[in-house]
Amino acid sequence: MNPKHFHQRPGLILNPEKKSCNALVWAPGAQTVSIVSRFNEKHYLNQSAYGYWEANDLPLVEGDTYEVCLNDDKTFPDPASLSQPRGVHGPSMVTDLASYSWNDDDWNGLDIQKPIIYELHTGTFSKEGTFHGIIDQLPYLRELGINTIELMPATQFPGNRNWGYDGVYPYAVQDSYGGAGELQKLVDQCHQQGLAVILDVVYNHLGPEGNYLSQFGPYFTNKYQTPWGRAVNFDDEWSDAVRHFFIENALMWFGDFHIDGLRLDAAHAIKDFGARHFLAQLKEATNEFNAERGKKHFLMAECDLNDVRYINTPDKGGYNMDAQWCDEFHHSLHVMVTGEERGYYSDFGGIGPLVKSLNHGFVYDGIYSPHRKKTFGSSTDGQFGHKFVVFAQNHDQVGNRMMGDRLGTNISFELQKVVAATYLLSPFTPFLFMGEEFGEKSPFLYFTSHSDKDLIKNVRKGRKNEFKDFMGNLNPPDPQAAETFKKSVLTLREKWDSTQQALFKWYKTLIRFRKEQPFWAENPREYFEAEALNEKILRVAIRHKQDVFFMLMNFGPEKIHLDLEAVEPMLCSATDEWSGPVNHVHDLKKGNILELPGECFIFLKTK
């Protein structure tokens, strides 16, 4: 039987009457553990089983700051701190998550088959750079038509500027964004306006600055290495408590913040060769939570292994994630429109990979990858389309370019519209990155605000080394400079030019069009079939009940004429409604001949 502690949240939790706290700290190697209050009062915890220390009715109340003292020697912030008002090195603060008065009783959650996801970074999405700034922009997001926002990591990181993947307190909401209460308010407002919220969480590593977990116990293991150093300990000695730490974290987001879903960063870097993988255990805990509360919380995994084990059900040996990212759709589309074939893009030349990805999700599904020099991936046969999240841009694919340049700055306006239609009207779950809907020209750069001078130096050196083969006469922007962050803030709507306004209208139309057609609400993979007409033109046939539709994407600059009988154009990216060169969609059809302009998307219905 699991010990009782594995059903309790770690950290300091206020009692219902809010005049005291209960404490649970995991420190298996400690001789003594105590909570030190702001008045320098020391409250010793009682040693329990499995490395836990606990106490009830500690005389701390909301707003009190405290630290955890090990062995009557050094003090540290609480690993399960809910608030770090003085930053990652300062004391933790007792925080009341239960007092927020929710107004989302009518929110029943989002059907997992229907997300249209919009990824945003809290600090650069609005001029305020806070959760409240996002609330002010919710009418804009509703106008766009998306039904889900995905927040890049919002847990406490060093300083005020960071992507969030350097977070070191998984339970604490970033103070400069507004803290826990403001995040609760944001989620509440989203639900009242019909929007679901996904939070990006990082369970594969923690950042280097302010990371004191190893002082408490073996949260990390030397068995495996990740790109960020030692792996989180999910299967070595003492790993039960580490798994408990992160599972309770996920349940906190669901229960206390009403977050609808979690996006699990780099799930392939969660190293676990135990009999029951951590992700499978996390999904079981999520399902149990949903059954108890009658909710629809879900899990999405970012994974670059092309392995359907992540989304397979347990009876097939899977981890039962609700969806996973499909990077290869992005790679195929990116190479198709830019011609870039360096690095991993070399596996995606020509139109063939895009056709295959539209049909199967994965391009490398058990075939040989020349770039990797090995057979790679697994088959997606039998998988539902909504289980694959596809995109033309995301924070990684933009921000990890040396100059943070967005796709729209490297391709034409007309081609941007074709790209949008290709993934928004695909048989998969579509995912937008903030700003692409109006062709943001400002970059999205990599930025930090560390205080550790050696770390700052190493980050700068690492960025230069990463791009040494691409730099030429350029240098990557300094991640630590405030100007780098400022350049990444989205352009205000009142400063858009006419083409940006037209592109936004096009995105709105595509999203509305997707919602209106019934086959996207079912399993569109059953009805979609893509094929290449030549090296630049792709056709997708959609056969749903008695109806037959066609999508044509011309990625080349030359117009062509197609002999198509009994078809009616419904939507065309090249019309003047979207600042294109054609007056009206019906002008393209002359008898049986359809004129397909260069760099154009057309949706057709058979008569």
The residues that are catalytic are 265, 302
Q: Are 50 and 41 in contact (CB under 8 A)?
A: no
**CA-CA distance, 50 to 242, in Å (whole number)?**
11
Q: Please state at what angle helix 179-192 crosses helix 239-257, rounded to 10 degrees.
A: 50
* Residue 329 marked in a binding site: yes
**CA-CA distance, 383 to 369, in Å (whole number)?**
22
Q: Are 512 and 520 in contact (CB under 8 A)?
A: no
Torsions phi, psi of 409, nearest 5? -85, -5
Q: Are 477 and 484 in contact (CB under 8 A)?
A: yes
* Residue 584 marked in a binding site: no
* Residue 266 marked in a binding site: yes
Question: Which H or E run contains 120?
Answer: strand 117-120
**CA-CA distance, 125 to 154, in Å (whole number)?**
13
Question: Which H or E run contains 63?
Answer: none
Q: Please state at what angle helix 413-424 crosses helix 327-338, rounded to 10 degrees.
A: 160
The token pair at 400 is 């990890």
* Residue 264 marked in a binding site: yes
* Residue 395 marked in a binding site: yes
Q: Are 241 and 217 in contact (CB under 8 A)?
A: yes
* Residue 322 marked in a binding site: no
Residues 6+ apart with CB under 8 A from 187: 104, 197, 257, 258, 259
Q: Which residues are 53's β-sheet partners?
A: 25, 47
DSSP labels, 381-392: TT--GGGEEEES
Q: Are 118 and 88 in contact (CB under 8 A)?
A: no
**CA-CA distance, 248 to 243, in Å (whole number)?**
9
Question: Could you tell me the maximum CA-CA distance found in the chain, to the nearest angstrom?
Answer: 88
* Residue 327 marked in a binding site: yes
**CA-CA distance, 367 to 61, in Å (whole number)?**
59
| Three-class secondary structure of residue 552 per DSSP | strand
**CA-CA distance, 379 to 478, in Å (whole number)?**
42
* Residue 475 marked in a binding site: no
The strand pair at 117-120 and 148-151 is best described as: parallel
**CA-CA distance, 399 to 506, in Å (whole number)?**
25
At residue 393, what is the residue type? Q
* Residue 397 marked in a binding site: yes
* Residue 244 marked in a binding site: no
What is the CA angle 423-428-431, rounded to 5? 55
Cβ atoms within 10 Å, residue 246: 20
Q: Are 125 and 490 in contact (CB under 8 A)?
A: yes
* Residue 220 marked in a binding site: no
Q: Are 353 and 344 in contact (CB under 8 A)?
A: no
CA 489 to chain centre: 18
The token pair at 437 is 């809907």
* CA nearest to 201, candidates 161, 248, 164: 164
Torsion of CA 272, 269, 3, 250, to 10 degrees: -140
The C-alpha R_g of the chain, in whole angstroms, comes to 25
* Residue 399 marked in a binding site: yes
The token pair at 45 is 């915890």
* Residue 123 marked in a binding site: no
* Residue 315 marked in a binding site: no
* Residue 406 marked in a binding site: no
**CA-CA distance, 195 to 138, in Å (whole number)?**
9
* Residue 263 marked in a binding site: yes
Mark the binding-site residues, compressed into ranges: 263-268, 327-331, 395-400
Mark the binding-site residues for substrate, compressed into ranges: 263-268, 327-331, 395-400
